[in-house]
Structure 1
């Protein structure tokens, strides 16, 4: 039996489809794909290269504004931010710069600026990224280490609703999506890493370091 990659509790078999098996942790409520099914780095990048993240695309900007707008309500001009996992066409960081913020981009494939991970920020954004964490305990530790007390963390990821809905969920069809969170998982993360958690939209959460 596998152990949860987030909290190390023993996991239970959850759902299986023609591509891979998924497991559920009864402790932190994480659902995760069988690690044996994870793509190698080259395969991951091949998938990411198919994404069309165009900063000039109004529809993409509207999508990202579902995080940007409520986050900006909590920020002041000139604050220092990091877009963690910015992808091949950084757009959210551009939108936040247009709103008066000072931004840095990081992405392990497209902006591998590891110096950006050696400091702390007033806020960090992470849109459609945390579901790609193959080592979530490590990755969440790295992510939250970027926050000082009072800093904000903006997350966008679709949440698990139920086992029945998960079985036919399009979100798990992406082979680079390997971990899936529920509201209860974010409650666990808040307790583990000292974060308050507010769900501001169905797939948008804003956390604050205490």
Structure 2
């Protein structure tokens, strides 16, 4: 079984097992991932995502997005090209960034399937509460590497793995569509391998600048 992020071929270690699923950890990049036997079908995923009622009128959701938007906006310059990747059925973050003068485009495999938006370069790529859904995150990561401009910024929001003990009681892992779990070590591995600086402004946010 190869790691779905870094393709490391050595057998991953068993990280956790419960009555729902089995989880492994890559010994190289430290990604924790669901055993392929438990990956959800695309129709199950879409049905789950359609339950998300995200709205630009929801002040609580806007405060949630501000955990990423606030530190990311320090890098904004007028008319930057921004891609909101995995925007979901309600692309609120894209709307907020457009209001700040960004040229925003959207991509989501279920709700904004515009492959032409993956054919240009971007100054900033955001991915808010989506990376944990990627079955083979190496695919999306390589896509981002291909379209992120030099000095570009990746802004990612996802809850991070801390340790095995906390993972065992972590509600975040129980969502059947959450299948890839990143830690600080995973992001630092990617940064070192692919030439990024990395910072962690909050517990759920990572900003990676292409060097």
SS at match of 2:37: helix
Q: How many residues align?
A: 209
Task: Tell me what 2:146 maps to.
Answer: 145
Task: Tell me what 2:6 maps to.
Answer: 7
CA distance in 2, matches of 1:137, 1:124: 16
CA distance in 1, matches of 2:51, 2:144: 25
TM-score normalised per structure 1: 0.97
Task: Tell me what 2:163 maps to.
Answer: 162
Runs of 4+ aligned structure 1 residues displaced above 6 Å come to none
CA distance in 2, matches of 1:124, 1:3: 27
Task: Tell me what 1:100 maps to.
Answer: 101
CA distance in 2, matches of 1:137, 1:104: 22
**Per-residue CA distance 1:102-157 (angstroms, 9 max, x = gap):** 11111110000000001111111100011111111122111222201111110000
- 1:52 shift after superposition: 1.2
Which runs of no fewer than 5 residues in structure 1 stay unpaired? none
- 1:8 shift after superposition: 2.5
TM-score normalised per structure 2: 0.96
Which runs of no fewer than 5 residues in structure 2 stay unpaired? none
CA distance in 2, matches of 1:79, 1:115: 18
- 1:3 shift after superposition: 2.5
**Per-residue CA distance 1:46-89 (angstroms, 9 max, x = gap):** 11011111111111001001111111111112111010010001
SS at match of 1:68: helix
Deviation larger for 120-129 or 192-201:
192-201
Task: Tell me what 1:177 maps to.
Answer: 178
Task: Tell me what 2:206 maps to.
Answer: 205
SS at match of 2:82: strand
- 1:163 shift after superposition: 0.3
Task: Tell me what 1:121 maps to.
Answer: 122
